Structure 1
Amino acid sequence: MPTTRLATSNDLPAWAIVAACILAVASLVLLIVEMRRRERGGMGILVTGVLALLALALAVLRPVRIAARESVIGARVVVLGDTSRSMALPSDGGGTRQKTRDDVIAQLTKAAPDARVMQLGFSDGAPKPFSVGDGTSARGQRSDLGSAIRALGTMPDERPAAVVVVSDGRLDDPQEDAPRALLKELGNAIHAPIHTIATTKEGPADASIRRVANAGAAVAHVPLPLKVDIGCSGGLSCDKLTVTARELREDGPPALLATGLADVKDGKASVDLTVTLDRAGVRILEVGIESPTGDTIPENNRRLLTLNVARERVRVLHVAGQPTNDVRALRQWLKSDASVDVVAFFILRTPADDPRAAQEDLALIPFPVDELFSVHLPSFDAVVLQDFDAQPYGLERHLPALARYVRAGGGLIMVGGPNSFVAGGYAGTPLGGVLPVSLDGTSGATAADTAPFVPAWTEPGRSAPVLAPLRAVVGDELPSMPGANVLGDVRTGGVVLWTHPTRTTKTGAPMPVLAIGDQGDGRSIALGIDGGWLFEFSELGARTAGRGHGALWDGLLGWLMRDPRFEPAQVDLREGCIADVPPILRIRTAGHATKGETVVLDVTRLDKSGVAPIHVEKVREGDDAPIEMALPPLPTGGYSARLRIGTGPTTRRDFACEAGGDEWADTRPDPERLRALAEATGGSFAFASDVRDIRLPKPTVVSAERHVVPVAPPWTWTLLAATLLGAHWFMRRRGGLS
């Protein structure tokens, strides 16, 4: 816009202008002092003196008229609003901290209309744009202000003249005890002052679990120490609080693992607990406290931990009916693997045998069936029943417990032989119900087919990672087997990997020879042959140096133990899971699926209450690209996601959703941390009620066209000054002043 203004001559330095003004003022003061000694004509002396001083000043300053077309460019100001989950907590005087943050940003924008305000939100990583009033702008699971400011410093855009941080001060970075030098480095990263505004002064009345730390990795069957830190703030009265640790399970109510008593003093307490997890894999651990009277945020009284429980060694119980070639080959392989701790029992004497000797003279001990399957069963990761008859050795009464063991997370492999499957008395039993195939135990049903055959690959068998090690050794070739146990149709959720080339089931489907399937929290495998040893000792075994047998069992046992190498997919949460916020599952298949296959995802709540099962399907668009599947908002709790690609096996991933997670663990605001950051970087600090105290930079004026014209020629000012000085001297003389 066009503007006109007066200014001094451009050739005058600033110090000359200041000196002229000072001398003029000093001369005026001296004139006033001299007026006391005058004899007459005081008004004339004063008027001429003032006019003479003004003329002298104009002669020195030589005023000019500047006509210009100017633009006002506001300073670039970046407003960083905290978008972490803690902003959903209550603020002072009602409402949420998120609403206070939005009100503060609106006031800032209104108070600085000329500023070029860029509004960004920070939580984890680089800042992202967000809109005031957006209900989704309080979902971040971290308050990483340090990373956000450093990211601003590396952006190729114009550097901001100032940064304004609006937060409750409960930050992950910088930490509470960060030194001043570290805070100053944040200001140096953007070469601008950092102003801070605290949304909240006082915290709510709240008791919470602020932190749960475990010492070392979680290992199955190994005690895991937990340290639970508890806080009590906002004037809430806390004394002694009971702390519990429970494992969320799909097969029943949560299992209590440990309990303790917290003695709260000065608003803090710590409790040490020790838990032991019997099963490896992803486990959900719930650590909670009782809610004291007056607690305004009971959601943070419970924390859900997702633990990836590892195995020190895979503990396998191998029970065989007789020492056949197949039994010896499997036992040797189990013994040769250093990662496997095997306990093996072979039936060398049946109850019907007559040893013709007294019991005390026999070296063979009776099979300890009761001790194994009632006392020690939970200590095993997997049970292998190979060619074993359940009836003569008292295993029948333990089959319900063995079935519960599988559904609770154990692994089961039943290997064929003359005394296995239907011939072993498992048809119609609870254990038969957890096998991936059905068993026909009706009178007259065939238990085995002794005709030699070569198993046939199924399409899922060719692509399943569980058999990838075997296919890498033998390709599509399989040895001829000396017969097979007769198995029924595959159960829902099971996958057939090998079939019989000629036999069919009652429904007309090819008879399964090798099938796998999930059973509750565990897994089971049905291998209806006793010729696995032929992968070592056969023409095929000779060509492959016998490596096929180990490759087969490496995949089977690895899949049973949920080894990621043998899973058809990897499932994880893209950004964790917050209660009532739609989570997104990211699926990576590593080339084990093809374009056009249907990806099916089923999600159920572990305790089977409150949430209906969720079913999501999506068609795979590429061979290797990750797949993202969105779920509806979920309430707080533990969940199990089961993924199936095409007709392949199932991948399971357990996860937990929390109301606030770490961001709600400590609900106290921390305005002092914001104040320290502002002071260290040369910025200003204010609470939400004093937003106008923030000193934002002034706008810059840019002239597009500029004309400078002297008000009068320099000699005019000089002549005027000389004339007025002469008049002043004349008036002084008349007044009696020298």
Structure 2
Amino acid sequence: MPTTRLATSNDLPAWAIVIACILAAASLVLLVIEMRRRERGGIGILVTGVLALGALALAVMRPVRIAARESVVGARVVVLADTSRSMALASEAGGSLATDVQRSRTRQKTRDDVVAALSKAAPDARVLELGFADGPPKPLAGETARGQRSDLGSAIRALAAMPEERPSAVVVVSDGRLDDPQEDAPKPVLAELGHTIHAPIHTIATTRNELPDASVRRVANATAAVAHVPLPLRVDIGCSGGLACEKLTVTAKELREDGPPALLASGIADVKDGKASVDLTVTLDRAGVRILEVGIESPTGDAIPENDRRLITLNVARERVRVLHVAGQPTNDVRALRQWLKSDASVDVVAFFILRTPADTPGASQEDLALIPFPVDELFSVHLPSFDAVVLQDFDAQPYGLERHLPALARYVRAGGGLIMVGGPNSFVAGGYAGTPLGEVLPVSLDGAPGATAADTAPFVPAWTEPGRSAPVLGPLRAIVGDELPSMPGANVLGDVRPGGVVLWTHPTRTTKSGAPMPVLAIGDEGDGRSIAMGIDGGWLFEFSELGARTAGRGHGALWDGLLGWLMRDPRFEPAQVDLPEGCIADVPTTLRIRTAGHALKGESVVLDVTRLDKSGTAPVHVEKPLGDGDAPLEIALPPLPMGGYSARLRLGSGPTTRRDFACEAGGDEWADSRPDPERLRALAEATGGTFAFADDVRAIRLPKPTVVSAERHVVPVAPPWTWTLLAATLLGAHWFMRRRGGLS
């Protein structure tokens, strides 16, 4: 737009103008002081003196008239608004969740109002509104308070690395509860953020009020979680906002699918100055993903009861895979399996075979016997939970008193244990397992009707099923032998596969009652555990046969490495990998990502079932979706889930199931400490040259002024330089004359 204004001469430096103004002001002061010694003519002396000083200043500055066509370019200002989960908390006492806005204002609502007020306060500024939580900042529009972290440091560094124009200022709107920079960060660390972006960082705190809140602020374990090994936990408790906290009971429970949460440890927190720490020791019997609930009793008046318990996901490892191997007689298959188990350094095997029954009468004293009675009661009533897997190979349950322990063994499987039943003359139906609780956890049914055939002794070559060819559990074996399998010396007669089971090998001629090919090798899930039914006792032929000779006997180890690895949920043998890239927040939709790693067949369907571990009445989620053709991961949107532990079971086509347990928390780490931290924001602003304000004083933020750009500019002197000089000389002469008349020298 066209503008016209007066200015000083362009060839005059700014410092010269400043000196001229200072000298003129000093001369005026001296003139006023001299006026006290005048004899007469005070008004004339003062008027001519002021005019002379003004003319002299004009002669020095030589004013010009500038006519230009100018445009105003607003400064680039980046607003970084906190989108972490803590912004869903209330600004005032009276509510905690975002759905409580009728009772209390949330920090997110205050944040949005502040961002809107900033745009109004600087209408000429080019404001870019971004949200930050974990990772690079994202456009604020549509971003809700769901971030699992408040990583301002990463957002600043990502902003500095962007190829766009650098901002003239950054405005951070947050509650101050940041993960980076940390609470005790020194001033040089804070100043470095300003140096990174080369701009001042202004900060605005959304709230200054602490809610009355007791919470589990942190759960830490100093060592890795290992099955059967005590795990020490340090639980930090906080109490703020004037809430009365003295002694709080702290508990640690494991969420289990087979029943209510199991209490593992408890303690008393003695809260002093709003803080307390409790040391607990827990022991987890099962490896894999386990979910612990660590909580406290909610004190009266607690505004955020959701953070009184934390759901901790532990990936429990095994120091060694502990296997109980029980065999009825020393067959070639028993010897081969026992030798392989003993040769694997990662396996701790406890083996019993060549057993003596209680009915045997050896005719010798106990001191002279090399064979001891099978300690069935001690193993299956006391030590059973200490084993990761149980292998029953050609073993008859009746003579050894195992029948009364079959319900406990079935419960062991459903609680997360592994079971492999290997065939032989004394296994499956012949071993008395039909119609028992243990038979119900096998992946195949057993026909125990009178006169039912228990075994077929005719030699045969097992046939691959389509799921068997693609299942990762048999991938190592197929890499060695291909589609070739050795001839087996007969098979146990097995029934139809149970729901959830998968048949990998079948008999080439025998069928079940339903007319389906009879399973020879099947796997399946049962509750929290897994089971395998191998209806042959010729696995040793993978090592000692013509096929074994051609493959250097490596097939036997590959077969059992896959079976035992699948039983232990080794990721190598899972048909898919399931994860939640953004975690799970209670009552907020989330996404589950599936990677098949090339094991699935193109065009197969994906069947997903998500159930709550404690079976508390939450409706299960069932999704069926085609896998598609590319190698890109498949993402499945999950509806909002209440706070708790969940189990996701995924099946690709007719293959085996992959399981992933996960927890949904209301706020997670972001709600663990609900106190706002405006002082950290104030320190950040001071260290980077910015200003700090609360949400009710947004105009206190000093944003940069816009830049004026001239497209066309004309400079014309107001008068020739000699005119100003002549005027100054004339007025100085007049002033000298008036001074002489007034008696001043």
Between the aligned partners of 1:495 and 1:694, the Cα distance in structure 2 is 66
Change (3 A) 1:40 1:247: closer
* Alignment equivalent of 1:485, drawn from 482, 492, 503: 492
| Contact residue 357 and residue 373 of structure 2 kept, 8 A | no
Q: For 2:188, what is the secondary structure of its paired residue? A: helix
Quote the residue 1:113 is aligned against: 123
Quote the residue 2:11 is aligned against: 11
Q: Which amino acid aligns with 1:105?
A: V
Q: For 1:422, what is the secondary structure of its paired residue? A: helix
Q: String of CA shifts for 1:295-331, please: whole Å, max 9, x gaps.
A: 1111111011111111111111111111111111111
- What are the residue-to-residue correspondences of 1:701-716 with 2, within 5 Å? 701-716=708-723
* Alignment equivalent of 2:276, drawn from 251, 269, 276: 269
* Alignment equivalent of 1:501, drawn from 483, 497, 508: 508
Change (3 A) 1:240 1:48: closer
Report the more deviating stretch, 104-113 or 547-556. Answer: 104-113
- What are the residue-to-residue correspondences of 1:692-707 with 2, within 5 Å? 692-707=699-714
Between the aligned partners of 2:225 and 2:33, the Cα distance in structure 1 is 92
Query: Percent identity over the alignment?
Result: 88
* Alignment equivalent of 1:223, drawn from 224, 230, 234: 230
Q: Say whether 1:203 aligns with 2:213.
A: no
Between the aligned partners of 1:351 and 1:12, the Cα distance in structure 2 is 116
* Alignment equivalent of 1:278, drawn from 275, 285, 293: 285
- Cα deviation for residue 725 of structure 1 reads 3.6
- Cα deviation for residue 551 of structure 1 reads 0.6
| Contact residue 470 and residue 601 of structure 2 kept, 8 A | no
Change (3 A) 1:260 1:697: same
Between the aligned partners of 1:305 and 1:489, the Cα distance in structure 2 is 40
* Alignment equivalent of 1:448, drawn from 455, 468, 483: 455
- What are the residue-to-residue correspondences of 1:68-217 with 2, within 5 Å? 68-92=68-92, 94-131=104-141, 134=142, 136-217=143-224
| Contact residue 358 and residue 373 of structure 2 kept, 8 A | no
Q: For 2:380, what is the secondary structure of its paired residue? A: helix
- Cα deviation for residue 736 of structure 1 reads 5.0
- Cα deviation for residue 623 of structure 1 reads 4.7
Quote the residue 2:475 is aligned against: 468
* Alignment equivalent of 2:321, drawn from 305, 314, 317: 314
* Alignment equivalent of 1:344, drawn from 351, 368, 378: 351
Q: Say whether 1:642 aligns with 2:652.
A: no
Change (3 A) 1:737 1:517: same
Q: String of CA shifts for 1:312-357, please: whole Å, max 9, x gaps.
A: 1111111111111111111111111111111111144456655455
Change (3 A) 1:510 1:623: farther
Q: Which runs of 5+ in 2 are unaligned?
A: 94-103
| Contact residue 642 and residue 652 of structure 1 kept, 8 A | yes
| Contact residue 594 and residue 623 of structure 1 kept, 8 A | no
- Cα deviation for residue 267 of structure 1 reads 1.1
Report the more deviating stretch, 613-622 or 718-727. Answer: 718-727
Change (3 A) 1:211 1:36: closer
Q: For 1:375, what is the secondary structure of its paired residue? A: helix
Q: Which amino acid aligns with 1:109?
A: S
Q: Which amino acid aligns with 1:145?
A: L
Q: String of CA shifts for 1:176-216, please: whole Å, max 9, x gaps.
A: 11111111111111111111111121211111111111121
Q: Name the TM-score, length of structure 1 as normaliser.
A: 0.97
- Cα deviation for residue 361 of structure 1 reads 4.7
* Alignment equivalent of 2:589, drawn from 574, 579, 582: 582
Between the aligned partners of 2:27 and 2:299, the Cα distance in structure 1 is 79
Q: Which amino acid aligns with 1:671?
A: P
Between the aligned partners of 2:192 and 2:518, the Cα distance in structure 1 is 70
| Contact residue 323 and residue 348 of structure 1 kept, 8 A | no
Q: Which amino acid aligns with 2:543?
A: E
Between the aligned partners of 1:458 and 1:623, the Cα distance in structure 2 is 25
| Contact residue 357 and residue 374 of structure 2 kept, 8 A | no
Between the aligned partners of 2:355 and 2:408, the Cα distance in structure 1 is 25
Q: Which amino acid aligns with 1:558?
A: G
Q: String of CA shifts for 1:579-614, please: whole Å, max 9, x gaps.
A: 011121111111111322111111000011131110
Quote the residue 2:97 is aligned against: none
Q: String of CA shifts for 1:661-701, please: whole Å, max 9, x gaps.
A: 01111111111111111111111112222222211111111
Q: Say whether 1:248 aligns with 2:255.
A: yes
Between the aligned partners of 1:216 and 1:43, the Cα distance in structure 2 is 92
- What are the residue-to-residue correspondences of 1:424-573 with 2, within 5 Å? 424-573=431-580
- Cα deviation for residue 76 of structure 1 reads 1.2
Q: For 1:423, what is the secondary structure of its paired residue? A: helix
| Contact residue 355 and residue 374 of structure 2 kept, 8 A | no
Between the aligned partners of 1:104 and 1:206, the Cα distance in structure 2 is 26
Between the aligned partners of 2:85 and 2:64, the Cα distance in structure 1 is 59
Change (3 A) 1:522 1:72: same
Between the aligned partners of 2:185 and 2:456, the Cα distance in structure 1 is 75
Quote the residue 1:53 is aligned against: 53
Q: String of CA shifts for 1:470-501, please: whole Å, max 9, x gaps.
A: 11111111000011111111111111100111
Between the aligned partners of 1:677 and 1:734, the Cα distance in structure 2 is 65
Q: Which amino acid aligns with 1:150?
A: R
Quote the residue 2:626 is aligned against: 619
- Cα deviation for residue 733 of structure 1 reads 4.7
Q: Name the TM-score, length of structure 2 as normaliser.
A: 0.96
- Cα deviation for residue 155 of structure 1 reads 1.5
Change (3 A) 1:32 1:357: closer
- What are the residue-to-residue correspondences of 1:402-413 with 2, within 5 Å? 402-413=409-420
Q: For 2:428, what is the secondary structure of its paired residue? A: coil
Between the aligned partners of 1:122 and 1:309, the Cα distance in structure 2 is 33
- Cα deviation for residue 716 of structure 1 reads 2.4
Q: For 1:376, what is the secondary structure of its paired residue? A: helix
Q: Which runs of 5+ in 1 are unaligned?
A: none
Q: For 1:550, what is the secondary structure of its paired residue? A: helix
| Contact residue 347 and residue 367 of structure 1 kept, 8 A | no
Quote the residue 1:414 is aligned against: 421
Between the aligned partners of 1:718 and 1:533, the Cα distance in structure 2 is 117
Change (3 A) 1:318 1:735: closer
